[in-house]
Amino acid sequence: MTVRRPAPAGLRLVADPSLVRRDSGRVLVGGSPFRMMRLSEAGARTVDRWIDGAPVRTGAEATLARRLLDAGSMHPVASPAADRDATVVTPVRDEPALTTLPTGGRPTIVVDDGSRPPIGPIDGVRVIRRDVSGGPSVARTDGLALARAEGAEFVAFVDADVTVDPEADPTGSDWIDRLLGHFDDPAVAAVAPRVVSAPGDTILAAYEETFSPLDLGNAPSLVAPGRRVSYVPTAALIVRVAAIDAVGGFDKALRYGEDVDLVWRLAAAGHTVRYDPSVEVQHRPRSSWSAWFWQRMSYGSAAAPLASRHGDAIAPSRAPVELYGTIAAAVVAPGALVAGAAAATVTAAQIRVRRALGEHHQPAAVNGAMAQAFGSTVAAIPRAWAPLALVAAAAGRRPRRRLAAMVVTAAAVEVLQCRPAVGPFRATTARLVDHLAYGVGVWQGVVRERSLTALRPARSENGVRSTDASASTVTP
């Protein structure tokens, strides 16, 4: 286990959106992963100060701040960094309209990864050429090597189809300045902004504004398996060069998923990776449904190679074991048995959480987490288990109808919750195709890797994304 230095003095903190304070602020429940922490009275008063906007002070207060940051109970508020800069690295292949990048005039390296025709000169940008395409991980590695050779301490990986809102960031530089502020904390190895889908006037663009896999939501998070945000993409990611070198850089053998693999290795090595949605960039969606389908397949194809490296961190579903039994019963069992199994599953989860949190458990939160786990597990049927589901459906009309109803209903619920600017029928259909495209890619990867690890569900004890519900005492 990595021993962390105290949080830097002067840091300002905000509470995680899920955090609930009880017993006059001495008990903190929530965070990501979900847990309970007990504080002394002095610790509770310190947290009061931070929530009111006061900065972290040195000594025991900084030690407490580190504990809460590492627990995901609180998050830093980064200020623009005036004393550091980053070199921008952009991998490009067959990008016809590459003229400007949101870099604010920073040193920029474009790696032409075998484009046909080659990328021409770009004002103020160094272009290095690879005659044979090696994929994004190889191209980024080449750009990183040049930046390192020139003494860069930080590198901002920015994809060619990333832009910024000119009204929010007129220079194209503010988003990098703000994220660089996170590196005031020496534990931070990488930080990512929110990557929203650029607005457009097509149905595809409207769908992507709500369901882009690059958009990881509006809540800040530490990034690691089991956290609220388990990965961040290199579409826009700033890294500390020394940290990325310490874990061996990108895995050149990965054509897709190389960013997920890097982030997970950084986290496993004890580094901090942060997601800061207060900073946004825009990502241009695919121009056609066929290109979109291929993109989703490509993402799915990374699951098997990632599973071979990281085990159940890439599991298609993470839920209490009873929930898997409930879903199986919902396919084949009479209605009364299904209702009984569902009630027993929720009750078992409530009992486990009550034992862990005692009087501070939150039944409504557990019920909501169980509903979310159910929806994500059903969504895994087309995303990972479609061939197996077809075998189950062949058992008869009732299993077939129930499976179809569950999958369609889960997609429809996602649509109703998110309310995309697309009609509900079109959005639900697109959501189902989205899941299926990813699933096709998963099975392609499974066949290539000759491993079923990416198909195996994982077990959690309480139905939330993490099984951690630890109690600890912190006295500043």
pLDDT tens, position by position, for the chain (476 residues)? 455 788 898 999 999 998 888 888 888 888 777 778 889 999 999 999 999 999 999 999 999 999 999 989 999 998 887 788 899 999 988 776 665 666 777 888 999 988 888 887 777 788 899 988 889 999 999 999 999 999 999 999 999 888 887 777 766 678 899 999 999 999 999 999 999 999 988 999 999 999 999 999 999 999 999 888 999 999 999 999 999 999 999 999 999 999 999 999 999 999 999 999 999 999 989 989 999 999 999 999 999 999 999 999 999 988 777 777 777 777 765 555 555 555 555 565 555 555 555 555 555 555 556 666 777 888 888 899 888 888 777 777 877 888 888 889 889 988 998 888 889 999 999 999 999 999 999 999 999 999 999 999 887 754 333 322 223 334 33
Q: Which domains does the chain have, with CATH numbers?
A: 12-77 (no CATH), 87-285 (3.90.550.10), 318-459 (no CATH)
Residue with tokens 């921008």: 88
pLDDT the model gives residue 475: 38
Predicted confidence at residue 468, as pLDDT, reads 28
Query: What is the reported pLDDT for 337?
Result: 52
Q: Quote the pTM value.
A: 0.88
Here the tokens at position 348 are 């078992």
Write out the DSSP string of 286-328: PSSHHHHHHHHHHHHHTHHHHHHHHGGGG-S-EE-HHHHHHHH
C-alpha to C-alpha distances, 286 to 197, 295, 342, nearest whole angstrom: 10, 8, 40
What is the per-residue pLDDT for 117? 84
Angle between helices 363-384 and 335-357 (to 10 degrees): 120
How open is the CA angle 290-292-293, to the nearest 5 degrees? 65
What is the Cβ-side half-sphere exposure of residue 230, based on CA atoms within 13 angstroms? Answer: 14
Q: What is the pLDDT of residue 154?
A: 97
Task: List strand residue ranges (DSSP E) for 81-208, in order.
Answer: 87-92, 108-113, 126-130, 154-158, 162-163, 188-197
Residue in the block written with tokens 């309209």? 97
Termini Cα distance of the chain: 22
The predicted structure's pLDDT at residue 3: 53
243: helix, strand or coil: helix
> For position 379, what pLDDT does the model report?
85
The residue written with tokens 């097509």 in the block is 202
Question: Which residues in 103-131 are b (16+ Cβ under 10 Å) and which e?
Answer: bbebbbbbbbbbbeeebeebeebebeebe
Strands 108-113 and 87-92, by their bridges, are parallel
The residue behind tokens 């900084």 is 62
Contact 212, 282 (CB under 8 A): no
| DSSP-derived pairing of the beta strands 458-459 and 35-39 | unpaired
Residue 345 is predicted with a pLDDT of 59
Residue 424 pLDDT: 92
